[in-house]
Amino acid sequence: MTTTATPSLDVHRLRADFPVFEELFGGKPIAYLDSASSSQKPRQMLDRMRAFYEHEYANVHRGVYQLAERATEGFEGARRTVAAFLNAPSEKEIVFTRSATEALNLVAYAWGLDNLGPGDVVVITELEHHANFVPWQYIAKRTGASFRHIPIDDQGELQLDALDGLAREGEVKVVAANYVSNTLGTINPVERLGEWAHEQGAIMVVDAAQAAPHRPVDVQALGADFVAITGHKLCGPTGIGALWGRREILEPMSPFNLGGEMIRSVGLQQTTFNELPHKFEAGTPAFAEAVGLGAAIDYVGGVGLEAIERHEHALVQQAMAAFDEIPWIRVFGPPADRRAGIVSFEVEGIHPHDVAQILDWEGVAVRAGHHCTQPLMTRLGVAATTRASFYLYSVPDDVDRLVAGLRKVKASLG
Amino acid sequence: MSEFEQLYREVILDHYKAPRNHGLLEPHDAIAEGTNPLCGDEVTVSVRFGAGDVIEDVGFEGRGCAISQAATSMLTDLVKGRTAAEISALPKDELLEEIGIPLTPVRLKCALLGLGVLKVALHKAKGTPLPEEWGASSGEINLS
């Protein structure tokens, strides 16, 4: 008889893949609770990049020699890995970028400047990361389009009943939303937003930087038009991200960066652009980092996104249950069963920077600040929050150390 | 057989040094040009149709690597007397078998340039489908 037991991850075995956990800070190993900002790196990814640099490295796409073919195959293999990871219909729809931020800027500039104007409406959310907020605010200003947001309720969840009102403000052309809020952990209903966007004749742009490392992201199931991810939150290196875009939108779209590799032919009077995805990859790309991202995806995929999601959920439940018992801690955002592995909170009467400073002396690494979501901070009525976030290598002991550390914070400054 | 002999086998060198159907047809019914940004290969292909959509004659000009020019030369022999619809659907493997040498992904683009350009010419004249990678305009800057 087969059992349907859900696979779980062996966190202690996984932690051995991450050299940073062997380090001591003030004599203590780190309780790393800042993975929403950036993840730690497994040896498997680092080894793959080292092997690539040592044995497969030459510039891509150009060289006729065998070493260059190896490099090109490594780079294009990484593109196929990203395409499969996102369930993209074609790897030609995967554009490598420097980051999710650059991917979102690419869409805002290259699509937005040609397609937005007075009378059009750009819709973002009140809990957007600045990466999916400021580019649209800027391009809206440049083109004369209006810039509107979907508000959140007191639990940090989108108020979808505001959509009808937004539709009456003009022609909605873009809906841009993150899949998972980096500050609150709210899981946004991006499929529903995408349906609404398409009913308005708008494109749907999803910032999946905070989602893709932790839960399956299927671009076809989401029904989006653009999806941005980044490598460094996903056990990958810095300096590499990717944009998935629907081919029929990417093909007629203007380029973003111009230069080498993105051209088919160049003359003094006329330049013709290259085919997808190269049209959007001017210059020598971060191809060794793309190979690293491919290895990171293989690593995370090997652990299993469903198992990662469940593992983080258990840690969120543990943290929120502990905070529930402490009257001087206030947690922001939705209940545990409707959020990803992120808990933002405030310690009554103590600034988050002081909280984070004292926690650091206990070897507990958390983020304190506005988390690149200042409009959300304004809505919450705070200048900053303290944020603990989890990943596949986080352990219950990290949460215990956080809670114990917060009691020290309260005892010393409260 | 040495690696040189494998890649630049006699028939390739023959087509490169003495290309068949060289020179553009005047008059012609269809023409297109294309480039391969990897090597900087250039090919222009012109076509004259006979009865119906039959490719009666074809001529090309170009400059570039031996593979791109020889492959286009071999292509012109391959397509004469066949219909536009047939050639627009010509599997690239048919040409590659004719070329008969092992090609890496980079050199594959050289070898298939002429076929892509021919399909564009047929598309312009007869509305046949474009090859996938030429399917949509990826845009341009034009100062003139």
CB crowding A62-83: b at 16 or more within 10 Å, else e: bbeeeebbbbbebbbebbebbb
What pLDDT is stored for residue A142 in this prediction?
97
Q: How many CB pairs under 8 A join A and B?
A: 59
Rounded to whole angstroms, the maximal C-alpha distance in chain B is 51
Instruction: Work out the burial of residue A280: count CB atoms within 10 Å of its CB; fewer than 13 is exposed, 13-18 middle, 19 or more buried.
Output: buried
Mean pLDDT (chain B) is 89
Q: Kindly state whether A61 is in contact with chain B, defined as any CB-CB distance less than 8 angstroms.
A: yes
Q: For residue A272, name the pLDDT band (cuts at 50, 70, 90).
A: confident
DSSP E strands: which ranges in A179-309?
203-207, 226-230, 241-245, 263-266, 270-273
Answer whether the bond into residue A252 is a cis peptide, omega within 30°. Answer: no
For residue A273, the distance in angstroms to the closest alpha carbon of chain B comes to 6
Structure confidence by residue, pLDDT tens digits, B5-19: 777 888 899 999 999
User: Which chain B residues touch A264 with a CB distance below 8 Å?
Assistant: 35, 37, 138
Structure tokens at A116: 């937005």
CA gap A356, A344 in Å, rounded: 12
What pLDDT is stored for residue A261 in this prediction?
85
A35 has a pLDDT exceeding 90: yes
> Is the CB of B138 less than 8 angstroms away from the CB of A273?
yes
Q: Are A206 and A190 in contact (CB under 8 A)?
A: yes
CA gap B94, B72 in Å, rounded: 13
* C-alpha distance from residue A91 to each of A237, A244, A245, B104 (Å): 21, 9, 10, 19
Q: Kindly state whether A276 is in contact with chain B, defined as any CB-CB distance less than 8 angstroms.
A: yes
Q: For residue A411, name the pLDDT band (cuts at 50, 70, 90).
A: very high
DSSP A275: P
What pLDDT is stored for residue A287 in this prediction?
98
What pLDDT is stored for residue A7 in this prediction?
64
The tokens 């996938």 sit on which residue? B132
Establish whether A235 is a catalytic residue.
no
Name which of B65, B75, B119 is nearest B97 in CA terms.
Answer: B75
3-state secondary structure of A28: strand
Alpha helix stretches (DSSP H) within A56-99 = 66-85
Residue B1: other Cβ atoms inside 10 A: 6
- Tell me which chain A residue has its CA closest to the CA of residue B42: A265
3-state secondary structure of A121: strand
User: Which chain B residues touch A261 with a CB distance below 8 Å?
Assistant: 37
Q: What is the pLDDT along chain B (144 residues), one digit of tens a residue?
A: 777 777 788 889 999 999 999 999 999 999 999 888 777 789 999 999 999 899 999 999 999 899 999 999 999 999 999 999 999 999 999 999 999 988 888 888 899 999 999 999 999 999 999 877 665 556 778 776
A81 has a pLDDT exceeding 50: yes
Structure tokens at A237: 């290196």
Evaluated on CA atoms A120, A126, A132, A135, the torsion sign reads positive
What pLDDT is stored for residue B88 in this prediction?
94
> Is the CB of B140 less than 8 angstroms away from the CB of A279?
no
Q: Kindly state whether A271 is in contact with chain B, defined as any CB-CB distance less than 8 angstroms.
A: yes
Lowest-confidence pick of A26-40, A283-297, B39-53, B127-141: B127-141
Q: For residue A402, name the pLDDT band (cuts at 50, 70, 90).
A: very high
Q: Phi and psi for B62 in degrees, rounded to 5?
A: 175, 175
What pLDDT is stored for residue A3 in this prediction?
45
Q: Are A150 and A122 in contact (CB under 8 A)?
A: no
What pLDDT is stored for residue B135 in this prediction?
52
Name which of A174, A104, A116, A111 is nearest A142 in CA terms.
Answer: A116
> Is the CB of A72 less than 8 angstroms away from the CB of B105?
yes
Residue among B3, B68, B134, B138 with most chain A CBs within 10 A, to mutate = B138
Strands A263-266 and A120-125: unpaired
CA gap A3, B5 in Å, rounded: 59
The beta-carbon contacts of A69-74 under 8 Å, at least 24 apart in sequence, are A69/B104, A69/B105, A69/B106, A71/A287, A72/B105, A72/B106, A73/B105, A74/A287, A74/A291
> Is the CB of A61 less than 8 angstroms away from the CB of B38?
yes
Using CB atoms, pick whichever of B35, B107, B138 lies closest to residue A251: B138
Q: Which of A9, A372, A382, A404 is catalytic?
A: A372
A4 has a pLDDT exceeding 60: no
Name which of B105, B130, B138 is nearest A80 in CA terms.
Answer: B105
Q: Phi and psi for A241 in degrees, rounded to 5?
A: -145, 180
Q: Between A269 and A167, name the one with better pLDDT.
A: A167
Structure tokens at A334: 């939705």
Element (H, E) at B81: none
CA gap A139, A135 in Å, rounded: 6
Structure confidence by residue, pLDDT tens digits, A140-179: 999 999 999 999 999 999 999 999 999 999 999 999 999 9
Using CB atoms, pick whichever of B106, B138, B143 lies closest to residue A275: B138
Q: Return the amino acid letter for A11.
A: V
